[in-house]
Structure 1
């Protein structure tokens, strides 16, 4: 059975251009090499400053590379977004999502730090989330130097980056060192059990990010088969038993995205824990649909994301 008939008509054409090859231990290097991303141009534009920093990593680990974005004309301490890129925990880079981060910074007038965390399977859990926590703590403690309002920090990410952002929000809550204002979760990859369900959703996961890819991504991050009883919520946020005290949350996902069930369930549990939640499910959208930038559903989702982040920053003034 195919779910192609459920795809938004504006999103169909891309499916014929994307290879249907799931990542594996044998081809991961080749897949990474097929989608190289040139480093971000650090030359200062007339409106935006982008700089590369290397900040202290977790204890015993290498420094963490981050990209720091700041509007040149902005005055006073700015709200800041800590952004975490996607890629199934096994691919991607901060450079690859430069255009997305640039668009958010330019539209909202906030600052942003994009984290180049270490990838699995070379660095399994807890390395990636600890890299992100190191970046968050650096951002919070260097607010004066960076021109950041440390009381107005949001975390966000797409796909695996959304999963890391959700885990980071839990970690920040439990460690009590950094207070977060908001979490922006775009189709977050938050539950390792989705790849091991005996009866999976019959209409999701056919395109872009499949169940096979998901299982490999989780196995790479966890260093073991997913779905077991001892997975940390700081690896898979959906495993957290207590969601109270988390920051206000935005979640969006496509209706035929593999992650739709886990994301909607996480939103439901957050609301039952007293967390303000905004949830969007876009009909006919598969995982990664924002690659079709001109599609109406992509433009709608971009507006929704920006509006939610702007409201969060404005409410905190």
Structure 2
């Protein structure tokens, strides 16, 4: 384990057993603790095929300090070498590890959440459903920043005609992560195809005004609300799809959402 600290934030790095290979996890904790920490697992973006823990510093640091949380950034296995369900199973093993280690860092295993950006938002949403269905861990909130939720790519917004190269890259990413048709309609990989949304954790969903994919995030928010899941959906205009993961207004709103839904008791 390596450790870096300052007066406000303690950052540590460990490796845990993943689904197909060892997985790096970077831990962020407030330097001062006045009460037990909640627990948040965070998953980086990168279209399922790229991305690193270094990209998550702004999001994880802000959530740790503002929501008084132990935030774990998980470097899940990437496609195409490790297609679905490798990343999702890595995420579930990280969730189990966090619950087992909670007592060592004065964190409360009863107050757990998942979060992610882009492909990481897909993994967070899938993990919320896995935890509900397996019944082994109680996840009480999910934070989805510009999440990828629709492998069919049929719910893109009116800006799509101006984003053809980006959508081509997205199509290749979905093919790498979900090489078979059956995977593309699996509810853990395609949350918008799920007909079982009831009893999922409370959701905060951040979309981006000029992102052609904002429609799928907002469709998912509407579906969660219809299923009775407490949901807050915010669209942000003064950022980009990549920038939303470090956008201060979105992170502060997500932190307030966590404080509300992970309140003790």
Superposition TM-score, scaled by structure 2 size: 0.91
| Residue 132 (structure 1) aligned with residue 91 (structure 2) | yes
**2:217 is matched with which residue?**
263
**1:217 is matched with which residue?**
173
**1:99 is matched with which residue?**
58
**1:272 is matched with which residue?**
226
**1:181 is matched with which residue?**
140
Q: 1-side partners of 2:57 and 2:161: how far apart?
A: 26
Q: 1-side partners of 2:127 and 2:231: how far apart?
A: 17
Q: Deviations over 1:142-183 (max 9, x none)?
A: 221232101101100111111110000011111110001100
SS in 1 for 2:199: coil
Q: Deviations over 1:188-229 (max 9, x none)?
A: 1011011xx3x85332474598211110110110124x6x68
Alignment of 1:147-296 (within 5 A): 147-194=106-153, 197=154, 200-204=156-160, 206=162, 210-224=166-180, 231-283=185-237, 286-290=240-244
Q: Deviations over 1:117-163 (max 9, x none)?
A: 01111110000111011001111122212321011011001111111
- In structure 2, the CA distance between the partners of 1:97 and 1:159, relative to structure 1 (3 Å rule), is same
**1:301 is matched with which residue?**
250
Instruction: Name whichever structure is richer in strand by fraction.
Output: 2
For the aligned residue pairs, the C-alpha RMSD in angstroms reads 2.3
SS in 1 for 2:172: helix
Larger radius of gyration: 1
Number of residue-to-residue matches in the alignment = 264
SS in 2 for 1:261: helix
Superposition TM-score, scaled by structure 1 size: 0.77
Q: Which of 69-78 and 160-169 deviates more?
A: 69-78
**1:312 is matched with which residue?**
261
Following superposition, the deviation at residue 62 of structure 1 comes to 1.8
Contact map agreement 2:151 2:184 (CA 8 A) in 1 = no
SS in 1 for 2:218: helix
Q: Deviations over 1:87-110 (max 9, x none)?
A: 111110122211221122122221
- In structure 2, the CA distance between the partners of 1:51 and 1:209, relative to structure 1 (3 Å rule), is farther
1:46 is aligned, of 1, 4, 7, to 7
SS in 2 for 1:192: coil
Contact map agreement 2:25 2:75 (CA 8 A) in 1 = yes
